[in-house]
Amino acid sequence: MEDFILRSILAAVGISIIAGSLGCFVIWKRMSYFSESISHSALLGVSLGLASGLGIHFGLVFVGGIFAFMIVALQERKFLSNDAILGIFSHIALSLGIVVLALVGGENIDYFSLLFGDILSITGSDIIWVYSVLIVIVGLLSFFWQRLLLLTLNEELAKAEGLKHTFYQLLFMLMIALAVSVSVQIVGVLLITSLLIIPPAIARVFARTPSQMVFQSIFISMVAVITGLSGSMYYDIATGPAIVISLGILFVLSQLLASKNLV
């Protein structure tokens, strides 16, 4: 097997575990637009990472974290509706990213692969980054699982039982920023959210408990990502869209099963 194929499969498996587990909370908390806004900030993260010389992963987590803080701070003021705030941030982030990237990146920036993913760009150090993030996210989710679940199920009850809402909200945003930073290269800036929300949306049809939903969405994500990767290599098409199309096919099938009461 060629090295780049092995690397992309390793990355795909790691990203599936990260996105599949975190994605359940994105679905439960109705935060898909939030993760969309954060992922749109990824281009800016890439450009600042390149310009500062600290590397794109650092830039991605830094910019993602800052955007998350600003969004939550603006939401707290209750001056604008959430969808307006997220829409504004999402597009400002994307435009800033394109402009700054053009200024610092010079001629040889491949916008297409940043926007839609490119498995050929994955290096050995990227794999190390993916699995470091995986350990952090899986560790945090398992440690705080019961508390995060209670807060997501009903905030008021969780607060009355002594849970600090703000802490877990910040923790969750940090995890989203980390997940975005590992997914940019494989699915691209524009399609990261689909990796977070489609697998849990499919698993929702079959799952009877919250943990079942997490494991099923990880499994679904792996199937779709590896299928998409194979398609992308075989037909030489962009990786992100190939993965999203295989997720889309599984989603339609799951909805058909659900509507026919087969599950």
Partner 1 sequence: MHLAGIKWSLFEFIIVTSSQTLISAHNISLNHHGKNVLDKVSFELKQGEFITLIGPNGAGKSSLIKVLLGLIKADSGNIKRANNVRLGYTPQTFSPNPFIPISVIDFLNLNQKVEPIFLHETAILTGIEGLLSNPLKNISGGELQRVLLTRALLNKPNVLILDEPAQNLDVNGQMHLYKLIQDIHHQQGCAVLMISHDLHRVMKESTQVLCLYHHICCMGKPKSILQDSQFNDLFADQMDDLMATYEHHHNHCHED
Which residues sit at the interface with partner 1, rule CB under 8 A? Answer: 27-28, 30, 146-147, 149-150, 152-154, 156-161, 163, 204, 207-210, 212-213
Helix (H, G, I), strand (E, B) or coil at 171: helix
CA distance 203 to 188: 23
Q: How far is the CB of 208 from partner 1 (least distance, A)?
A: 6
| Cβ-based nearer residue to partner 1, 207 or 247 | 207
| Cβ-based nearer residue to partner 1, 91 or 159 | 159
| Cβ-based nearer residue to partner 1, 31 or 133 | 31
Q: Is the dihedral of CA 140, 174, 42, 60 positive or negative?
A: negative
| Cβ-based nearer residue to partner 1, 66 or 147 | 147
Q: How far is the CB of 156 from partner 1 (least distance, A)?
A: 5
CA distance 70 to 63: 11
Name the residue among 44, 107, 100 with its Cα closest to residue 70. Answer: 44
Q: How far is the CB of 257 from partner 1 (least distance, A)?
A: 16
Burial class (CB in 10 A: 0-12, 13-18, 19+), 111: middle
CA distance 215 to 227: 18
SS (H, E, C) 3-61: HHHHHHHHHHHHHHHHHHHHHHHHHHCCCHHHHHHHHHCHHHHHHHHHHHCCCHHHHHH
Q: How far is the CB of 166 from partner 1 (least distance, A)?
A: 13
Q: How far is the CB of 11 from partner 1 (least distance, A)?
A: 29
SS (H, E, C) 179-226: HHHHHHHHHCHHHHHHHHHHHHHHHHHHCCCHHHHHHHHHHHHHHHHH
Q: How far is the CB of 214 from partner 1 (least distance, A)?
A: 11
| Cβ-based nearer residue to partner 1, 87 or 210 | 210
Residue that is written with structure tokens 């524009």 in the block: 190
| Cβ-based nearer residue to partner 1, 184 or 220 | 220
Q: How far is the CB of 182 from partner 1 (least distance, A)?
A: 25
| Cβ-based nearer residue to partner 1, 68 or 151 | 151
